[in-house]
A and B are shown apart, each in its own frame.
Chain A
């Protein structure tokens, strides 16, 4: 049991990261961005409403703004940076670009993580399942149509590559 942890470690994208001199009440979003330099996750509301801060913790998609960073010791944290190296975007990221699902881009990292999580748990979701899975991610620009098209593109491409 870790007590008075002024210093604690988080396992981010498979690597242990030491967090020093942090205030214990800091959110994981804040620690990822401001202390560890993972700028992929975005903060827009800091109250769980927008999903732009979505990361994976032990394979669950969660709002990092609602996770107390110091409580996330001994978990596996995956951020959008951990899904693909920045030089070679993965199929979801490419589909977002191809379908024009990125406008200002602020919601995009959270959506990429949410879509990744959805397709890991359900490789052929119905339209309504996609909508429900992304209902915690708000986009103010696209009107969502292009985002849903991007998800459909990934699904059909993955199906083709299997058959």
Chain B
């Protein structure tokens, strides 16, 4: 077993191309648990710690380009907490301060767990994932990137180099249910985005399906039945129907963390809560 510590993206892509079976190591908060418990025996490791390009943040004309290895703490309350309220809220719920100091969005995408906290946000934002290889860059919609439980569309010689998200004028929020406040993996989660400029509503659910679920029916229904850009309060009926539609789009399972019934109920409640928050 070998560990490579490339000092630039070019070098990292070359090494990966020569060792396509190598495991990329960013914050290590998923990978090291697997290794410590011998669930995974690495052949080769490529450490991304010293690849500066993956730490770069850029403001673009339409949004932001987030380097894939920027740790959560920068989005939680650090230098980049302004880029997306929902991303900042989601980042703040991840693990503990120690986990947020090292864990990365690139790693959340790499693992692609349905409970990954940034994934509903990236889905609701229609984020674009930037994948690089020695052959160049390809951009993939988050919806095409996430394939299933811990499965994504990255091919073995690619590194997730950045995440592109739009700048949103309007409400954005993230909410999650777990057994306590700190250090918990989501039992159910939801992200609501209201893009005022495009009169568009997006609702994405986490931990209630093999991958993140976009609630196209609930979104469409709300757009037709409510005007979020005015200050007129929504009726209880509208809020409840939105929650009901969201819950009906969930495809949860029962596992060691919760039951399918509870998860379905919980995402409905979360959708309603977020909608109420959006009205404030």
Name A's B-contacting residues (CB within 8 A).
Answer: 1-5, 23-25, 27, 46-49, 51, 54, 60-63, 65-68, 70-75, 114, 132-133, 135-137
Contacts and interface: CB of A to CB of B under 8 A. Distances in A.
B6 interface: yes
A25 B1 contact: yes
Interface residues of B, number: 37
Given A27-B36, A48-B33, A66-B33, A136 B183 contact: yes
Shortest Cβ-Cβ A-B pairs, 8 listed: A136-B96, A135-B182, A71-B47, A60-B101, A4-B2, A66-B32, A136-B98, A46-B36
Contacts of B102: 60, 62-63, 66-67
Given A25-B41, A48-B95, A71-B25, 7 more contacts: A24-B3, A63-B102, A66-B29, A67-B32, A70-B3, A70-B47, A71-B3
B183 A135 contact: yes
Nearest to B12: A1
B245 interface: no
Dominant SS at the B interface? mixed
A74 B97 CA distance: 23
Most buried by A among B11, B15, B102: B102
A36 to B, nearest CB: 18
Dominant SS at the A interface? loop
A133 to B, nearest CB: 6
B279 interface: no
A70 B37 CA distance: 18
Interface of B: 1-7, 11, 15, 25, 27-29, 31-33, 35-37, 41-42, 45, 47, 49-50, 71, 73, 95-99, 101-102, 181-183
A11 B97 CA distance: 23
A70 B1 CA distance: 12
B45 A24 contact: yes
A112 to B, nearest CB: 14
Contact of A62 (B1, B2, B101): B101
A74 B183 CA distance: 29
B2 A3 contact: yes
A74 B3 CA distance: 14
29 contacts: A1-B6, A1-B11, A2-B5, A3-B2, A24-B42, A25-B1, A27-B35, A46-B37, A47-B33, A47-B37, A48-B99, A49-B183, A51-B96, A61-B98, A62-B102, A63-B102, A65-B32, A66-B27, A66-B32, A67-B28, A68-B28, A68-B31, A68-B47, A71-B25, A74-B5, A132-B97, A133-B97, A135-B182, A136-B95
